[in-house]
Structure 1
Amino acid sequence: MKAVAWCAPHLVRVEEAPDPAIINPRDAIVRVTSTCICGSDLHLVDGFIPFMKPGDILGHEPMGIVEEVGPAVDPDKIKVGDRVVVPFPIGCGECFFCQRQMWSCCENTNPKPSLGETMHGHATAGIFGYSHLTGGYAGGQAQYLRTPLADVNLQKMPEDLTDDQLVFLSDILPTGWMAAEQADIQPDDTVAIWGCGPVGQFTLRSAVLMGAHRVIAIDDESSVPERMQMAREGGAETIDMNSEDVPYRLFEMTGGLGPDSCIDAVGMESHGYHFLGSVYDRVKTSLMLETERPHAFRQAVKCCRKGGTLSVPGVYGGFADKIPLGAIMNKGLTIKTGQTHVHKYVPKLLDEIRQGRIDPSFVITHRLPLSEAPHGYEIFRKKQDGCIKVVLDPAA
């Protein structure tokens, strides 16, 4: 089969890879019909996430058709021919965390837990296509994907909705929803969101659906005007981080209090070249003395009102400097983070789609054949050609 392979930092290729096979009796093989390039994939390509090996297959946002199932897969849940979305975290369904709907914390699906235990104290669940830190599983930017524990992880989809409406249930739609849910939004709240990429777009729309009084989106108007316009179309007010003083504007817009909730939808590669802290981060990451560039996180801490909530769906992978712990403590902030518990949110969000309250396909700007994945990575990474979200078609 053809698959998108990580070859080295800043280098991906479409290569021939062995077709996946049933290894365990509860495996299934999915023929991928749509798969996406995620902002989190850029962290792998840019070299910010360690434990990648040449030839590793990328991708954690796929959907498709079940082609083969192992002999122990429950036929009442999954069978050949089912149309399915594949959540990016792999759950066992039985452990302490899965039983509590904390799927991305599963205890049993990461076969290389020592790496996570050494870095973070505990390992995450296994994650498709996201380094050997999360299990070394082959990803979904391929023509076929082996899915372990298929009757737990594969989410059956209806036939009357398109791939473009459904594929984001694999990751970024639940991620945006969980980010807004963690913000504990009340009807009179003002919510500020750093980042108008795909996750930021779903986060701000989720906040609107949850009844936020005001949603304010922050990004770089000069670099990504199409993202800022999309945010305004979704119901947000916007602040241009490069022409406006973000803290000053947020305090001005909130009568000096600051937003009730601040959401960092950027993560480890936040930019802000003319800020001293960002220059510091770029120097330290280039010397491998820091693994993050947490400018957005620092600014969100500074701006959030006293007693407010900071929600962090943006991915962080290692260690960061100059985190304002004094502000977090003295302002009494609550911080909620985490890889998304996708399985928990799929039924609710599928109903939101079916009822017409959200059509996730709005975020797609490019649909490309799998063979053009390197070009897709290039325009997504460099924010060229108005690129906001790329969907790859393995059959094209």
Structure 2
Amino acid sequence: VGLMAALSANLKSAAQVMVVDRHPDRLALAEQIGAIPIDDSKASPIDQINELTNGLGADRGCECVGYQAHDAQGVEHPNLTLNNLVHSVKFTGTIGVVGVFVPHDPGSPDKLYKAEGEVAFDYGLHWFKGQSMGTGQANVKAYNRQLCALIEQGKAKPSWIVSHELPLDQAPAGYQHFDARDDGWTKVVLHPNGSG
């Protein structure tokens, strides 16, 4: 989702696009489309973004992870990316949330999120900076024809993100690699007819 958000920002002529991740294969894909890869396992992404923006912060930020966000040590923090964005987006900047947040998560180690689907959000700083936020699921019907036209015209090539093509009977193994974030498994295309 984050890589496709970065591609979309480039298609909309963003002057500078930064992608925060810690997986080398995904950071390399970000760089392939002209985004600046930011490895959050090496240093604070907030510090790295502020350094790249001369302390101003990004004009816009997009939360693409959702409630399963976790730190570099693998510990889940449902509020991590939201609060990082509050700190790294400029005063009066905008935050879009396309990552999935559900009303409750029975598996979360965060008691607040597990019980009520709530996160400890840095609302004070968000308010102080005058940031705005939009959330929700993508309104696919509003964009699908326009996006298809960009692909047909050769302006958008989303296939760059596909790492594997597999026959349908290998779907469980492909999903397992993708879910484990194994190196090189970004997106898998499944072929129902068995050809891969």
- TM-score, normalised on structure 1? 0.44
RMSD of aligned residue pairs (Cα, Å): 1.5
Q: 1:267 is paired with a residue of what secondary structure?
A: coil
Please name the residue that 1:206 is paired with: 8
Please name the residue that 1:383 is paired with: 181
Deviations 1:247-267 (A, max 9, x none): 111111111111111111111
Tell me whether 1:331 sits opposite 2:133 in the alignment: no
Tell me whether 1:293 sits opposite 2:91 in the alignment: no
Please name the residue that 1:250 is paired with: 49
How far, CA to CA, are the matches of 1:346 and 1:206 in structure 2?
Answer: 13
Equivalent of residue 343 in structure 1, options 131, 136, 141: 141
How far, CA to CA, are the matches of 2:3 and 2:127 in structure 1?
Answer: 29
Q: 1:348 is paired with a residue of what secondary structure?
A: helix
Please name the residue that 1:227 is paired with: 26
Gap runs ≥5 in structure 2: 104-116
Tell me whether 1:311 sits opposite 2:109 in the alignment: no
Deviation at 1:385, TM superposition (A): 4.7
Please name the residue that 1:84 is paired with: none
How far, CA to CA, are the matches of 1:234 and 1:374 in structure 2?
Answer: 29
How far, CA to CA, are the matches of 1:322 and 1:337 in structure 2?
Answer: 17
Deviations 1:310-341 (A, max 9, x none): 01111111213311111121111110111111
Higher helix content, 1 or 2? 2
Gap runs ≥5 in structure 1: 1-198, 283-291
Equivalent of residue 153 in structure 2, options 355, 358, 363: 355
Contact 2:9 2:17 in 1 (8 A): yes
How far, CA to CA, are the matches of 1:321 and 1:313 in structure 2?
Answer: 16
How far, CA to CA, are the matches of 2:186 and 2:79 in structure 1?
Answer: 22
How far, CA to CA, are the matches of 2:34 and 2:81 in structure 1?
Answer: 21
Please name the residue that 2:168 is paired with: 370
Q: 1:306 is paired with a residue of what secondary structure?
A: strand
Deviation at 1:395, TM superposition (A): 2.1
Taking the TM superposition and a 5 Å limit, the aligned residue runs for 1:21-36 are none
Deviation at 1:378, TM superposition (A): 0.7
Deviations 1:160-207 (A, max 9, x none): xxxxxxxxxxxxxxxxxxxxxxxxxxxxxxxxxxxxxxx112111111
Deviation at 1:294, TM superposition (A): 2.5
Higher RCO (C-alpha 8 Å, min separation 6): 1
How far, CA to CA, are the matches of 1:385 and 1:336 in structure 2?
Answer: 32
Tell me whether 1:267 sits opposite 2:66 in the alignment: yes
Q: 1:260 is paired with a residue of what secondary structure?
A: strand
How far, CA to CA, are the matches of 2:4 and 2:180 in structure 1?
Answer: 21
Q: 2:91 is paired with a residue of what secondary structure?
A: coil
How far, CA to CA, are the matches of 1:213 and 1:384 in structure 2?
Answer: 31
Q: Which amino acid is the alignment partner of residue 239 of structure 1? A: I
- TM-score, normalised on structure 2? 0.87
How far, CA to CA, are the matches of 1:241 and 1:293 in structure 2?
Answer: 16
Q: Which amino acid is the alignment partner of residue 244 of structure 1? A: A
Deviation at 1:359, TM superposition (A): 1.4
Q: Provide the identity percentage.
A: 34
Size of the aligned set, in residue pairs, is 181
Contact 2:24 2:183 in 1 (8 A): no
Deviation at 1:307, TM superposition (A): 0.4
Contact 2:92 2:129 in 1 (8 A): yes
How far, CA to CA, are the matches of 2:42 and 2:136 in structure 1?
Answer: 31
